[in-house]
Chain A
């Protein structure tokens, strides 16, 4: 099974997948872009060791030009989002990346308005299963771990809905 091509990642999936020891699954993307603000919210804030992020072979940190970002925020009314979330959406539009990894519902809504496909940590695990990187048992185990062993807010019922879709 092959790899995906390119995605932009918000802090949520990076942190949540790391919390369940599955960050290497992000290697299914040949290129994974993160803006500087997401780097600051993750490795910069010591919420994940930089050495772990360095294991992502396709990871590239992008600096966003403040002037262009401000204009983008105003144009698409993104004032309510955090810095990393805004920069992720900007990167997607500016570099023509159609996939954004995010676990935030407000960012999902904004991404869809901008024609970007949002995918959360649960979706990444299921994609890993679909690509043959995880067995069904592993996918089920990691999906449940997201609920009880990560800081992602997801209820057991929603995880079970996801698992039923796999079976």
Chain B
């Protein structure tokens, strides 16, 4: 589906005006972009875990930690004899 299709479908299903849906989409998109950037800074070591938790919440930091642990476990296994 294209962006226009999503917009058209959402206006029909939610019975809301396009402007309202676009405003919501912008807010949700910006929140997500902010979160991803903060998590990227955390993973690069630019900010501490505590700072990251304060910025995006423990659930997202925990998920990022779990992803890193998974990759490190995989590599440890993969590089064995």
Interface residues of A (CB under 8 A from B): 105, 108, 117-120, 122-124, 126-127, 129-130, 154-158, 161-162, 165-166
Q: Are A161 and B68 also in contact (CB < 8 A) when A155-B39, A155-B40, A156-B40 are?
A: yes
Interface string of B43-77 (1 = CB under 8 A from A): 11000000000000000000100111011111101
Q: Closest A-chain residue to B66, C-beta based?
A: A105
Q: How far is the CA of A129 from the CA of B70 in the complex (A)?
A: 18
| Residues in B lying within 8 Å of A, measured CB to CB | 36, 39-40, 43-44, 63, 66-68, 70-75, 77-80
Q: If the complex has contacts A123-B78, A155-B36, are A161 and B70 also in contact, measured as CB distance less than 8 A?
A: no
Q: Chain A residues near B66: list those with CB within 8 A.
A: 105
Rounded to whole Å, the gap between the CB of A115 and the closest CB of chain B is 14
Question: Of residues B36, B43, B75, B80, which shows the largest number of chain A Cβ atoms within 10 Å of its Cβ?
Answer: B75
Task: Give the shortest distance, in Å, between B71 (CB) and chain A (any CB).
Answer: 5
Q: Tell me the complex Cα distance, A33–B80, Å.
A: 23
Contact B43 A123 (CB under 8 A): no
- Give me 28 A-to-B residue pairs in the complex whose CB atoms sit less than 8 angstroms apart, sorted by A's number: A105-B66, A105-B70, A118-B70, A119-B74, A120-B71, A120-B74, A122-B75, A123-B71, A123-B73, A123-B75, A124-B78, A126-B74, A126-B78, A126-B79, A127-B78, A130-B79, A154-B67, A155-B39, A155-B40, A155-B67, A156-B40, A157-B39, A157-B40, A158-B71, A161-B43, A161-B68, A161-B72, A165-B72
- Minimum CB–CB distance for A29 against chain B, Å: 13
Besides the known contacts A123-B77, A161-B71, 11 further A-B residue pairs in the complex with CB atoms under 8 A apart: A108-B70, A123-B71, A123-B75, A127-B77, A130-B80, A154-B67, A155-B67, A156-B40, A157-B44, A158-B68, A165-B79
How long is the Cα–Cα vector from A165 to B80 in the complex, in angstroms? 13
Q: Which B residues touch A155, using CB under 8 A?
A: 36, 39-40, 43, 67
